[in-house]
Amino acid sequence: MQMQPRGFTLLAFALIFALALASVASAQPKTVGYPGLGIEPGTPGGPLTLALPDAPPRFFYYGEISQPSQLLSQQMFDSLVEYDLETYDLIPALARDWDISEDGTVFTFYLREGVTWHDGEPLTADDVVFTYEQIITNPEARAGDAAQFTFTVEGEPRQVTFEALDELTVRMTLPAPSPTFLLQQRFFIMPKHKLLPYSVEGGAEPADINDAWPTSVAPSEVVGTGPFRLSAYVPGQLVRLDRNENYWKVDDAGTPLPYVERLEYLIVPGTEAQTAQFLAGNLDQLNITGVQFPDFKSRELAGAGFSVIESPALFGSPPHLAFNFSAADPVLAELFSQAEFRRAMEYAVDRWRVIDDVYNGLAELPGTPTAPVNAAFYEDTTDLFNMYDLEAAAAALDALGLIDTSGNGVRNITPGRDLEFTLTYGSDSAVFTDIATIIQNDFAQVGVKVNLQGIMATQLLGTGMAGDFEAIIVALGNQPDPELRKPIWQPGGALYYWHRATHPETPGDPPNFDAMFDWERRIFEIFEQGSVEMDAEVRAANYREWQRLNAEYAPVIMIAKPGNVAAVYDHVGNFVYSLGVIPGYNPVPFYYRR
């Protein structure tokens, strides 16, 4: 379904067919079932209480990038396509089908019939066009994604265009083919009849779109097509969502989804408070980490009435150790730029100890950086890893001429200068603190002195981007397609923070190729090609080469890939792990109360 090139006649035929179908059936519910994930027909009814890690800043998804907004929007809105919960393939959602023209530039989406907004208004192609044209591609929308729809063709910026062909058909025309365009269409579709006054089309200024749906809005104003609708908000305490009785999904047995009557999102910031609320039975489910596993598992075994569930993770953020190629200190910058040095230090990173002691075994060896569970793109590079071996680390450092000449137990870069640097980590995270300490100890054993500097975990990436570090531990999220993480991993990209010399002088210009190593230039090309190459196999092969280059030259040292861990009370049926914030990956409609 993803790639079905069809001619114009076929398209016309499909249109006629859609129209014919429209006259036959008034609604097109979608049947979904995942026996492979252990999902069974559930029983309707009952509330579920889940945790919201913070008060939502507002209810308008495109007005602010924030975890609570994302979690809530996931339940209240739908996108054109969504993820298959089991395979991560793209499957129909609000679009029941789509066509892609042979040259890969024209996407036609056929909307599901009979889908209504929470206030009863029908969903139409106008809503979809409005969402894309007036919100997502509005550069002033704080959580929009205008850049995604601007292509550079022959050096000129060109825009994707959107048209409503009829009530239920939307056409998007791209200036150039894009292999990941469909993957991007997990944007939540918004109601035009509610948001028009905030849009340019409705006469407002572009930035006014951010004023939509503040938390003081009447709940009935916030309408989506999603499985739940906003029912009440008590500031700082609770968000209540009620079941959408007209939702368009049904289970295998024909029972309408979602099963539960109500979702109560209890606002509980902080791991300790969340743990207490879960153990007290006030939360039905909680995502936890491997660090908390022993405590939860022992309570489970003592008969607390809940289970701890683990699964390998695709999404989620594997931590890495980065050395600053462009460190302020020229001696360190020179050293950190050498792949031989980074590979030598890799010998002293005890991945298995991190997996066993920090994550309590609930992690695996990382990809570089693709998640091992990502069958489409993962390349097993573990044979290229320099696994923990302090003697090998010492020998490799010796070979680089880094020898302790002063006799103080620390190797010398120059006769008067110890091999010593600062390692920045997130001191408010138990995981980062433990990893940093393990690294500090092991590095000391091979004569490398590490001074720890703790900062807030939320500021790690900002500190990295500012180049204000020598070595740092950061965790960046995995996505199904490497293209989605291009700004991180493409040399010269906005988030390629460990080698800032590759950044362009002014943002938007081509990167500084002179500063790149040969392998970085190759990675740059792989990502450029990945954005335009339509052949899935060629893309995958290229990205596999990129992962090998990453393992061989270790721009960063990947440490471990933590798994999904969640605690769920036994009265919750059909639990499937989700981060909640990945648009289009939403198992909550299947949850039910036993």
Partner 1 sequence: MLVFLTRRILLFIPTLLLVSAICFFVIQLQPGSFTDRYLDDPRFSPETVARINAQLGLDRSPVEQYGRWVWGIVTRLDFGFSFFANRPVSTMIGERMVWTVVVALVTLGFAWLVAIPLGIYTALRRNGFTDAVASFVGYVGLAVPDFLVALLLVALVLSYGGTNVGGLFSPRYIAEPWSWAKFLDLLNHLWIPVLAIGTAGIATVMRQMRANLLDVLHADYVRTARAKGLAERRVINRHAVRTAINPLVSMAGLQLPELINGTIIASIVLNLPTIGPMLYDSLLAKDQYVAMTLLLFASLLLMLGNLLADLALAWVDPRIRYG
Binding site residues, partner 1, CB under 8 A: 47, 49, 54, 57-58, 63-66, 139-140, 142-148, 207, 210-211, 214-216, 231-232, 234-238, 240, 264, 266-270, 272-273, 276-277, 279-282, 317, 455-456, 458-459, 461-463, 465-466, 468, 476-477, 479, 484-485, 487, 494-495, 507-508
Q: Which is nearer to partner 1, 76 or 419 (CB)?
A: 76
Evaluate whether 574 touches 590 at the Cβ level (below 8 Å).
yes
Evaluate whether 354 touches 517 at the Cβ level (below 8 Å).
no
Q: Which is nearer to partner 1, 48 or 321 (CB)?
A: 48
Evaluate whether 261 touches 48 at the Cβ level (below 8 Å).
no
Categorise residue 74: left if φ over 0, alpha if ψ from -120 to 50, beta otherwise.
Answer: alpha
Evaluate whether 332 touches 507 at the Cβ level (below 8 Å).
no
Evaluate whether 352 touches 438 at the Cβ level (below 8 Å).
no
User: Residue 374 CB, nearest distance to partner 1 (Å)?
Assistant: 15
User: Residue 32 CB, nearest distance to partner 1 (Å)?
Assistant: 25
User: Residue 37 CB, nearest distance to partner 1 (Å)?
Assistant: 25
Q: Which is nearer to partner 1, 22 or 495 (CB)?
A: 495
Q: Which is nearer to partner 1, 116 or 282 (CB)?
A: 282
Evaluate whether 284 touches 49 at the Cβ level (below 8 Å).
yes
Q: Which two tokens stand for residue 77?
A: 């809105």
Q: In what order do the strands lie in the sheet with 306-311?
A: 285-288, 564-569, 306-311
Q: How far apart are CA 24 and CA 100, in angstroms?
A: 26
User: Residue 558 CB, nearest distance to partner 1 (Å)?
Assistant: 16
> Three-state SS for 513?
helix
Q: Which is nearer to partner 1, 239 or 394 (CB)?
A: 239
> Three-state SS for 61?
helix
Helical ranges in 283-420 per DSSP H: 293-301, 330-336, 339-346, 351-353, 390-399
Q: Which is nearer to partner 1, 37 or 217 (CB)?
A: 217
User: Residue 240 CB, nearest distance to partner 1 (Å)?
Assistant: 5
User: What sign results for the dihedral spanned by CA atoms 483, 485, 490, 492?
Assistant: positive
User: Residue 201 CB, nearest distance to partner 1 (Å)?
Assistant: 19
Q: Which is nearer to partner 1, 184 or 225 (CB)?
A: 184
Q: b/e for 70-102, b at 16 or more Cβ within 10 A? A: bbbbbbbbbbbbbbebeebebbbbbbbebbbbe
Q: How far apart are CA 558 and CA 104, in angstroms?
A: 35
Identify the H or E element spanning 233: strand 228-234
User: Residue 181 CB, nearest distance to partner 1 (Å)?
Assistant: 14
Beta bridge partners of 265: 50, 239
Q: Which is nearer to partner 1, 231 or 437 (CB)?
A: 231
Q: Which is nearer to partner 1, 116 or 150 (CB)?
A: 150
Whether cis (ω within 30° of 0) applies to the bond prior to 258 is yes
User: Residue 504 CB, nearest distance to partner 1 (Å)?
Assistant: 10
Phi and psi torsions of 591, nearest 5°: -60, 140
Q: Which is nearer to partner 1, 251 or 264 (CB)?
A: 264
Q: Which is nearer to partner 1, 53 or 191 (CB)?
A: 53
User: Residue 485 CB, nearest distance to partner 1 (Å)?
Assistant: 7
Strand 161-166 to strand 262-267: parallel, antiparallel, or no bridges (unpaired)? unpaired
Q: Which is nearer to partner 1, 238 or 410 (CB)?
A: 238
User: Residue 548 CB, nearest distance to partner 1 (Å)?
Assistant: 24
User: Residue 394 CB, nearest distance to partner 1 (Å)?
Assistant: 36
Q: Which of 559, 549, 33 is nearest to 259 (CA)?
A: 33
Q: How far apart are CA 152 and CA 142, in angstroms?
A: 22
User: Residue 49 CB, nearest distance to partner 1 (Å)?
Assistant: 5
Q: How far apart are CA 190 and CA 569, in angstroms?
A: 34
